Amino acid sequence: MATNASGPNLLGQHVAMPNSPEEAELDRVPNPHPGTNYVARFTAPEFTSLCPVTGQPDFAHIVIDYVPGPYLVESKSLKLYLSSFRNHGAFHEDCTVRIAKDLATLLEPVWLRIGGYWYPRGGIPIDVFWQTGELPAGTWVPDQGVAPYRGRG
């Protein structure tokens, strides 16, 4: 994954979908409210990657919450970055934590969490959660709003 610390490189440009997360570029922009704790949320309800063993598609509902530090993620670059996993073979845990760590490195957030709600593979849903540190006191963050998998029960 390439990062662009100097400003958005993809915004306003016609850009082809990257073939892999390694080819994707994440852009950041300055936070217009530095020093203010607020939560920004991105939801990708149709996230797709490939099983590294079978090559079959895996699907997830990804929810990313973060309290910005000096930077915000530029949303077009995030969309392209997340889409780049469609041809990427990795386990659920690897995809979820990699996304979070890439964003944490790029953005230097005050706090970040990710919920990867993966649809069942082999009859077992796998949910993966990761966060940086503690949510700042007094900061409101809503529930991620994804119901636990209940099957037909």
Q: What is the pLDDT of residues 16-57, one digit of tens each?
A: 899 999 999 999 999 999 999 999 999 999 999 999 999 999
Q: Note the pTM of the prediction, 2 decimals.
A: 0.90
2-8+32-132 fold: GTP Cyclohydrolase I, domain 2 (3.30.1130)
Say yes or no to pLDDT of 79 above 60: yes
3-state secondary structure of 75: helix
* Catalytic option among 27, 58, 65, 95: 58
What mean pLDDT is predicted for residues 66-91? Answer: 97
In which band, very low, low, confident or very high, does the pLDDT at 9 lie, cut at 50, 70 and 90? low
* Catalytic option among 51, 94, 102, 127: 51
Select from 14, 9, 119, 6 the least CA-distant residue to 61: 119
Say yes or no to pLDDT of 5 above 60: no
pLDDT at 147: 84
CA–CA distance, 104 with 72 (Å, rounded to integer): 11
3-state secondary structure of 68: coil
pLDDT at 153: 54
Identify the residue with better confidence: 77 or 121.
Answer: 77
pLDDT at 2: 56
Q: Where are the domains of the chain?
A: 2-8+32-132
Say yes or no to pLDDT of 10 above 70: no
33: how many CB neighbours lie within 10 A of its CB? 10
Express each pLDDT in 133-151 by its tens digit. 999 999 999 999 998 777 6
Contact partners, residue 59, CB within 8 Å, separation at least 6: 46, 47, 48, 118, 119
> Is the four-CA dihedral 78, 83, 85, 87 of positive or negative sign?
negative
The verdict on whether 51 is a catalytic residue reads yes
Select from 112, 101, 147 the least CA-distant residue to 127: 147
Express each pLDDT in 90-135 by its tens digit. 999 999 999 999 999 999 999 999 999 999 988 888 999 999 999 9
